[in-house]
Amino acid sequence: MAQFTKQAIVASFVKLLGQKPLDKITVKDVVEDCGVNRNTFYYYFQDIYALLDEVFQEETRAVLEEGQPFTSWQEGVLHAITFARENKKAIYHIYNSMGRERLRTYLDDVIAKVALEYVQQEARGLNVCQEDIELLAEFYKHALSGMVIEWIRRDMTNEAEPMILNLARLSEGALRAMLEKNGRRNSDVPGEMPKN
């Protein structure tokens, strides 16, 4: 029963986000829409921003706990933005409010896992240190989440999938080439400058 009530509060909040800006949604709005009292709301959430955090935590769990690695970074990113594609108005209202940083954190968390899986997969069988893998994963995380944020900033008017697939086409083989080049450098004699 308690989980049902909490989920009902979350669902009402997401519904309201589709109707008006985050900064205009009050606890009163949520409890009236949901049919619970304020004490019930405060039993589960400290404030509206704690409720927003819960929405993003649920979405992060949904993406990361599927248990299956993504077959490509494109699949992972498209999966990560499913909530945004299904709730464009809500995401627009979050982006244009005090909740923007929470949105960015959600995207970074999910895309970081996707990027790390992608780099690790491409590095298999190569002489690449973990530090370099993590650095490249960080680079891809920022590049990909930056693209998604820009897509949101532009009101999500274009579909994300063609943009993601086009980027995949343009960058095909680039990561593997970087990793192979780095692997050759790691094979050089320690202390010597690598040959280009």
Q: What is the pTM of this model?
A: 0.80
| pLDDT tier at 34, thresholds 50, 70, 90 | very high
Residue 36 domain flag: no
Q: Which tokens in the block code for residue 184?
A: 């050759």
For 68, which DSSP code? S
pLDDT digit string, tens, across residues 140-162: 999 999 999 999 999 888 888 88
In a domain, 35, yes or no: no
User: Does residue 155 form part of some domain?
Assistant: yes
The H-assigned helical ranges of the chain are 2-17, 27-34, 38-44, 48-64, 73-80, 82-86, 88-95, 100-123, 130-153, 160-171, 174-187
State which of 14-18, 116-120, 181-185 shows the largest mean pLDDT. Answer: 14-18
Identity of residue 72: S
Quick check: 155 and 92 in contact, CB under 8 A? yes
Residue 182 binned pLDDT confidence (cut-offs 50, 70, 90)? confident
Rounded to whole angstroms, how far apart are CA atoms 82 and 95? 16
Residue 61 counted as domain residue: yes
Residue 164: inside a domain, yes or no?
Answer: yes
Domain hosting 123: range is 57-187
Q: Is residue 175 part of a domain?
A: yes
Domain tally, the chain? 1
Is residue 27 included in any domain, yes or no? no
pLDDT, tens digit, 9 for 90 and up, residues 74-127: 888 888 888 888 889 999 999 999 999 999 999 999 899 889 989 999 999 999
Does 132 fall in a domain? Answer: yes
